[in-house]
Structure formats: C-alpha cells, structure tokens
Amino acid sequence: MMTHRRRERALAVLLTGLAGYVDALGFMKLGGYFIAFMSGNTTRLGAGLVQGIATAVIPAVVIALFVLGVVFGSLINHFVGRHRRTLVLALVTVLLVLGGLWQMVGLGGGAVVCLALAMGVENTVFERNGEVSLGVTYMTGTLVKLGQRLTDLITGRDRWAWLWYLLLWAGLLCGTILGSAAYLQFGLASLWWAAATAAVLTAVVARWVQAPTPAAMRAGARYAQTVDN
C-alpha cells in the first residue's frame, strides 16, 4: 500500500468501505453467505460439501461469479491504457445499477449476481502488470501488514505506515456497519446508495486522469522556461 500515492490510498479506503457495504447487503440477503469475502465462502463451500451438497451451491456460484468479475476487470486493465482505472470503476457502477434495477422488479437473485460480479471487478482497480497490488475486499493480508507496521513503530523504523492499514480495515468495518443498518431499514433497495457512491468515485478518478500529473507540470514548466530563454 505504501508504494501508492496518498490519493490512491484514500481511494482504497473508500473502496473498502464500498465493499463492506455491498458485502453486508449480500450477507443479509443470502442469510450468511458473502459477496466480497471469498475466503469465508470457501469455508462455507467446504462445510457444505460435507454437510449436504445443496448448501454448497450458493457459495460455489458466488465464488465463480466473483472470479468472472476479476476476469472482466483484468481484461480492461490489459487492453485499456491511461483510462483503465476509470473504466474499471465505471463497470462496477454499471453492475451495481443493474443490481438495483433487478431488485426493483423483485428479482433479488439477479441483483446478487451483479453484486458478486461488481466485487470481483472492484478488486482489479489497483492492478499493476497483471497483479493486484492492493486488495480492497479482503482484510487478512491488511491485518498482517498492520501488525508488521506496528512492529516498525515499536522498533522506531516507521512511525506512521501502520495508520493506512488501520484505515483500510476500518473502512471495511464501517462500510459493513452502514450496509447492515441500511438493509434492515430499506432492504436490498439500499443498493442504490452503493451505486451512487461508485459513480462519484468513478467521476473523481476520471478527473485525476484528466488533470496533469506533478511530473508533467514540472516538465511543462521546464519547457516553458527553455522557450522563454
């Protein structure tokens, strides 16, 4: 995480909040199965295969949809250049909107399909050279990093790196709390808040792409100085 720019870290915290929110909606809708946390679904799948094949169907389907979403996001990263992150987030937004439309017509199953796909796509926002450099829907690795950075704090090597990992974890927790509360109040219709949040984040990232980078601004200033001279 520390190799990313500060605004990218802030985006990651917001995306973990979005993932926690959506995961809570799916968890409540499916009665204990996850939409964004595939380690938990893998445990449910294994237990289901032992207890009864019928209980293994839901986690198996959700895992497959999540992986398919990752494929979609990775294809965007592979074929698109500078605007790839914007398009990945745009796809997340479209899928969440489609999920909202499915629930409006009473097809909660279709909404769950869109949610699982969206969470898979979201995990490719921070993809570099075909590898995800920062996961935004699973926290085990983040908590390990938090412990390591706290060790750095204790040993005097780095005073503040731990804070970003704590914020990342806290983002997921806060999103889960908000999603659970929203579901109890509005049901799956609260998915529209997630879609609106994703749309705002897409617009923000699109603006980042359009704005000149600090390096480009410095290069432009050097060029202007050369011309003036």
Please indicate, yes or no, if residue 224 is contained in any of the structural domains: yes
CA distance 47 to 33: 12
pLDDT at res. 164: 92
Q: What's the CATH number where 217 sits?
A: 1.20.1250
Please indicate, yes or no, if residue 163 is contained in any of the structural domains: yes
Q: Which whole number is the average pLDDT over 125-142?
A: 83
Please indicate, yes or no, if residue 79 is contained in any of the structural domains: yes
Query: 135 or 88: whose pLDDT is higher?
Result: 88
| pLDDT exceeds cutoff 50 at 221 | no
CA neighbor of 141 nearest in space, from 179, 168, 175, 176: 168
List 132's β-bridge partners, or say none: 127
| pLDDT exceeds cutoff 70 at 194 | yes
Asked if 35 and 115 count as a contact pair (C-beta separation under 8 A), the reply is yes
Please indicate, yes or no, if residue 1 is contained in any of the structural domains: no
Q: How confident is the model at residue 210 (pLDDT cuts 50, 70, 90)?
A: low
Please indicate, yes or no, if residue 193 is contained in any of the structural domains: yes
Least confident range from 53-57, 75-79, 170-174: namely 53-57
Please indicate, yes or no, if residue 57 is contained in any of the structural domains: yes
- Note the pLDDT tens digit of each residue in 83-132: 999 999 999 999 999 999 999 999 999 999 999 999 999 999 998 877 77
Tokens coding 68: 């398919």
pLDDT at res. 150: 94
pLDDT at res. 227: 35
Query: 178 or 221: whose pLDDT is higher?
Result: 178
pLDDT at res. 224: 36
CA neighbor of 113 nearest in space, from 33, 51, 186, 185: 33
Domain count, the chain: 1
- In sequence order, the 6+-apart residues with CB closer than 8 A to the CB of 137 are 16, 19, 23, 36, 37, 119, 122, 123, 172
- SS3 state at 132: strand
- Note the pLDDT tens digit of each residue in 17-59: 999 999 999 999 999 999 999 999 999 999 999 988 888 999 9
Please indicate, yes or no, if residue 125 is contained in any of the structural domains: yes
CA distance 192 to 175: 14
Q: Looking at the chain, how many residues does it have?
A: 229
Domain that holds residue 54: 6-228
Q: How confident is the model at residue 211 (pLDDT cuts 50, 70, 90)?
A: low
